[in-house]
Structure 1
């Protein structure tokens, strides 16, 4: 349910764009949809994640710039900036906390050796950088319609594939860890 809620503004953006063919109208709808999504999340959980705040700020700023300047490049840059900010967090947080960010996020769910946490942190960093690059490649080399399709299906698909690959990698280490505990 959380994944659906996280993607709901993007799905609404996609639907409005597909129905009207107007990226500016889709952007105008995306901004309040993201605000409503965050309000609902706050109402339901009484907490908001930094990822949601970052996304909201960038949707408002870059979506607003898209509408103000009537230039779709601002909204097309949003996924890249979000992904690169996440990559930066995965790089910087361990410098200050001495623990990989992925470990801080997932250590409650699993116990892994330090080198595995570090490799996972690096994998997420590379993934976020690559997602930003691929988004720009699509935004600058393909039609607006293809970019809108990519934003929903391509990025979601890439994320699902990455998470599955991560799960396969973790399965080996989680089994090793279980075997060692016996």
Structure 2
């Protein structure tokens, strides 16, 4: 049940979209300069598109636009064989599904629940991956790029990511059940920057313990 009485925050102020648009544009430019892969750039464009369409046309059309763009991203990653993880592809499919359901049924709960559901699924998947592989996700991922990190460092990074997923899932649920739709959209936009910053900190932590794999080990693994 949505507790409207807890809606203590005001709807989006006219200056907020301008600030968010400028911030997203600057982030997009930085990604281009840093040669970020195509799929990551498309995800940034997807977030920018959602906020822009929401502000002018509402959440239903915004959800439909994001649904279509997410499906395009998924198809591009598959048929163009762009570097992409199963986690990213699953996220795109779920976003496309929940976005379309929001538009089709005219119910914003679909797109709002998506963030909580997908982050819980990611947290469980990461835990199960490490359980069955008997090794940290980050350790295996870096080894595939011919980089070595101690497994206990990889486990710390794994745990940090699991905590982040669960925290985002919980906060998202709290916001969309206690505050207005406009507040949730602002949170969703802010989450893009939080994701980038948090992953940057994890990467910096792991990189302190990272070293190149010996040439002999890469030959054996191939």
Secondary structure at the counterpart of residue 147 of structure 2: coil
Q: Which residue of 2 aligns with 1:118?
A: 155
Q: Which runs of 5 or more residues in structure 2 are unaligned? A: 1-35, 213-222
Give distance in 2, aligned partners of 1:145 and 1:58. Answer: 22
Give distance in 2, aligned partners of 1:150 and 1:109. Answer: 37
Secondary structure at the counterpart of residue 71 of structure 1: coil
Q: Which residue of 2 aligns with 1:94?
A: 130
With over 3 angstroms needed to count, the CA separation of the structure-2 counterparts of 1:143 and 1:96, relative to structure 1, is same
TM-score of the superposed pair, with normalisation by structure 1: 0.82
1:72 aligns with 2:117: no
Q: Alignment RMSD, CA only?
A: 2.3
Q: Which residue of 2 aligns with 1:19?
A: 56
Q: Which residue of 2 aligns with 1:30?
A: 66
**Larger helix proportion, structure 1 or 2?**
1
Give the alignment of 1:93-172 within 5 angstroms: 93-107=129-143, 108=145, 110-152=147-189, 154-172=190-208
Q: Which residue of 1 aligns with 2:90?
A: 54
Give distance in 2, aligned partners of 1:60 and 1:33. Answer: 8
Deviating runs (4+, > 4 A) in structure 1? none
Conserved? CA contact 1:100–1:117, under 8 Å: yes
With over 3 angstroms needed to count, the CA separation of the structure-2 counterparts of 1:138 and 1:110, relative to structure 1, is farther
Give distance in 2, aligned partners of 1:42 and 1:59. Answer: 16
How many matched pairs? 174
Conserved? CA contact 2:73–2:92, under 8 Å: no
Give distance in 2, aligned partners of 1:36 and 1:131. Answer: 26
Greater relative contact order structure (CA < 8 Å, 6+ sep): 2
**What is the CA-CA distance between 1:146 and the residue it aligns to?**
2.0
Conserved? CA contact 2:123–2:165, under 8 Å: yes
TM-score of the superposed pair, with normalisation by structure 2: 0.69
**What is the CA-CA distance between 1:46 and the residue it aligns to?**
5.1
Q: Which runs of 5 or more residues in structure 1 are unaligned? A: none
